[in-house]
């Protein structure tokens, strides 16, 4: 199914309505740090155009999962493929894979000494060999899309946290990724800046971007997610459509987690 066919489909979130063909396929993945097993028996398929929210207590393996998907971490066993290609161990194909998988972290990780514009152009120029003029045109379009076009010549420190995180999203998009990973993108932000970042993410989801989003923002999950995946102790314990998960979680672990989330 293409993105445009998907656009014509009803906008209901329902896990039985999958959007496209499998884009990220994770099969029987185990991940150890030394003796400690951080991921156990992970099976997860994310289809093209799908938005999956990953939720779970601190230490449950959410960041590890994201980091294995773009190979910032190796896995102990199992397979992860992106768009039909199994993750390479290293070398040129790894750089290509990283370009396919955009990542936005909790801490914005912009290059402090580069302007906003240069933060967005550096990937396309250095990794993809794009001409500077073309990269700048693309960067300005993306900065406009995330609402910070007028900040292009500033340094990151001159921007608010919310603006910096939106630049980080633009920087990831500049590589034209097939899937975007977000690891608690709003957790380091002051409350008044959370929505400006979530709004950009909702827009991306509506435009058909495939997204894996670690967040505890239930409003985002309800608005944008097709599926919620709940992790605990390195395992996927439960998955469901957002409304189903938030109103009718099945496992005790998820119920316990949600009760704490709501009372704080
Ligand atoms: N580089 C590492 N070395 C050793 N243990 C790690 C490392 N990174 C994460 N862990 C451990 O793996 C578990 C999962 O961590 P993480 O994926 O960061 O969880 P989450 O993002 O859900 O909070 C935690 O117990 C954490 O201490
Ligand atoms: Mg984490």
Confidence of residue 202 (pLDDT cuts 50, 70, 90): very high
Residue 181 has a pLDDT of 98
Q: Which atom of ligand 1 is nearest to the CA of 183?
A: 21
Taking residues 109-137, report their average pLDDT.
96
Mutation test of ligand 1: which of 34, 37, 61 has the most ligand atoms closer than 8 Å to its C-beta? 61
DSSP for 88-126 reads: PSSSHHHHHHHHHEEEE-SS----TTS-HHHHHHHHHHH
Q: Which atom of ligand 1 is nearest to the CA of 58?
A: 23
Taking residues 87-114, report their average pLDDT.
85
- For the cut 90, the answer to whether the pLDDT of residue 98 exceeds it is no
With beta carbons less than 8 A apart as the criterion, state whether 142 and 170 touch: yes
pLDDT digits (tens, 9 = 90+) for 51-94: 999 999 999 999 999 999 988 899 999 999 999 988 877 666 77
Residue 166 has a pLDDT of 97
Q: Nearest-CA neighbor of 30 among 43, 21, 18, 20? A: 43
Question: From ligand 2's centre to the CA of 43, what distance in Å?
Answer: 19
Global confidence as pTM: 0.91
- For the cut 70, the answer to whether the pLDDT of residue 43 exceeds it is yes
- For the cut 70, the answer to whether the pLDDT of residue 19 exceeds it is no
With beta carbons less than 8 A apart as the criterion, state whether 177 and 102 touch: yes
Confidence of residue 263 (pLDDT cuts 50, 70, 90): low
Question: Which helix (DSSP H) or strand (DSSP E) does residue 253 occupy?
Answer: helix 252-263
Confidence of residue 194 (pLDDT cuts 50, 70, 90): very high
Taking residues 33-40, report their average pLDDT.
97
Confidence of residue 210 (pLDDT cuts 50, 70, 90): very high
Euclidean distance between CA atoms 120 and 138, whole angstroms: 9
Rg of the chain's alpha carbons, rounded to an integer? 18
Q: Which atom of ligand 1 is nearest to the CA of 231?
A: 22
Residues with CB under 5 A from ligand 2 (ion): 62-63
Taking residues 133-157, report their average pLDDT.
97
From 11-20, 85-94, 243-252, the region with the lowest mean pLDDT: 11-20
Confidence of residue 46 (pLDDT cuts 50, 70, 90): very high
With beta carbons less than 8 A apart as the criterion, state whether 167 and 146 touch: yes
Is residue 215 within 6 Å of ligand 1 at its C-beta? no
Q: Nearest-CA neighbor of 239 among 32, 21, 13, 38? A: 13
From 3-12, 51-60, 108-117, the region with the lowest mean pLDDT: 3-12
Is residue 61 within 6 Å of ligand 1 at its C-beta? yes
**Which ligand lies nearest the alpha carbon of 65?**
1
pLDDT digits (tens, 9 = 90+) for 164-185: 999 999 999 999 999 999 999 9
Is residue 58 within 6 Å of ligand 1 at its C-beta? yes
């Amino acid at each position: 199914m293409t993105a445009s066919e998907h656009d014509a489909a009803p906008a209901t979130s329902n896990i039985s309505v999958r959007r496209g063909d499998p884009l990220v396929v994770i099969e029987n993945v185990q991940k150890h740090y030394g003796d400690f097993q951080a991921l156990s028996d992970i099976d997860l398929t994310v289809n093209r155009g799908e938005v999956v929210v990953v939720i779970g207590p601190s230490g449950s393996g959410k960041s590890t999962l994201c980091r294995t998907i773009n190979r910032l971490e190796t896995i102990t066993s199992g397979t992860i493929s992106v768009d039909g290609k199994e993750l390479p161990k290293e070398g040129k194909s790894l750089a290509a894979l990283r370009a396919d998988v955009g990542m936005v972290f909790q801490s914005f990780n912009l290059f402090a000494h580069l302007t906003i514009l240069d933060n967005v152009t550096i990937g396309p120029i250095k990794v993809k060999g794009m001409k500077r003029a073309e990269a700048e045109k693309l960067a300005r379009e993306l900065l406009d899309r995330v609402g910070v076009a007028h900040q292009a010549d500033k340094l990151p420190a001159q921007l608010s946290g919310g603006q910096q995180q939106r630049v980080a999203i633009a920087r990831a998009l500049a590589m034209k990724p097939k899937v975007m990973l977000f690891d608690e993108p709003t957790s380091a932000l002051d409350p008044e800046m959370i929505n400006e970042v979530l709004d950009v993410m909702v827009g991306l989801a509506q435009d058909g971007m495939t997204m894996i989003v670690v967040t505890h923002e239930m409003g985002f999950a309800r608005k944008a997610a097709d599926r919620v995946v709940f992790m605990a102790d390195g395992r996927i314990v439960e998955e469901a459509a957002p409304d189903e998960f938030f109103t009718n979680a099945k496992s005790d672990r998820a119920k316990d987690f949600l009760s704490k989330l709501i009372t704080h």
